[in-house]
Amino acid sequence: MASRRMETKPVITCLKTLLIIYSFVFWITGVILLAVGVWGKLTLGTYISLIAENSTNAPYVLIGTGTTIIVFGLFGCFATCRGSPWMLKLYAMFLSLVFLAELVAGISGFVFRHEIKDTFLRTYTEAIQNYNKNDERSHAVDNVQESLSCCGIQSYTNWSTSPYFFKYGIPTSCCMNSSDCNTQDLRNMTVAATKVNQKGCYDLVTSFMETNMGIIAGVAFGIAFSQLIGMLLACCLSRFITANQYEMV
């Protein structure tokens, strides 16, 4: 019996070491999600408003998920160091819930990516029709057009149906050279054609989404399946510790 306990001790020590390393990496993942959520809320709010028809809670979801992972990552380290079987089982249960949530989110994002594109087209069209240069969506339109050097949905001519065009012309955010643009030129479609960017923003945004969707999905699934490693380590360690305690009785 004593020899068996001596044999299981190195295994328990090895599992503890691996699980502590895993929990630390898991904790780092939580910190990254929290940082991305805060960054998204502070800097991407205007862009998100063009993708979602209504106000979206995506940054808050990332902040909440990141905070929860940070807490449970620390809990995983504590449970491992303490060698508590029930704590390790609770940690494994949490990892399984995170795995399922990430798997569902990843599959949903990939399956409904075309709906996201359709929503973007609809909301971007509405943003152009309701453009006034002052509200959040108008600022988002300007940011997209300036950063991507594009204009309108399919082309700059989409602005001809906007009420804003009849008063002020095409927005200056469409200009190729802001110093060479004035309101009079931008109110004339023929003259404006030589002053503004020709490419529409919709194709540029959606092609970017399509190009990077595979990479994003691959990373998401990779992170999700990494939870299986943590679950396996936590369950194995709990089992070995329980068996070792039983043998000592």
Distances in Å between the Cα of 32 and the Cα atoms of 13, 25, 28, 224 are 29, 11, 6, 15
Q: What is the pLDDT of residue 65?
A: 79
Q: What is the pLDDT of residue 159?
A: 93
- Tell me which of 72 and 248 has the higher pLDDT: 72
pLDDT digits (tens, 9 = 90+) for 89-123: 899 898 888 888 777 776 766 676 667 778 888 88
- pTM of the prediction? 0.65
- Domain span at residue 155 reads 1-247
Q: What region, left, alpha or beta, does residue 17 occupy, with left being phi > 0 and alpha being psi -120 to 50 degrees? A: alpha
pLDDT digits (tens, 9 = 90+) for 184-210: 888 888 888 888 998 999 888 777 766
Q: What is the pLDDT of residue 215?
A: 64
The total number of structural domains in the chain stands at: 1
Q: How far apart are CA 141 and CA 139, in angstroms?
A: 5
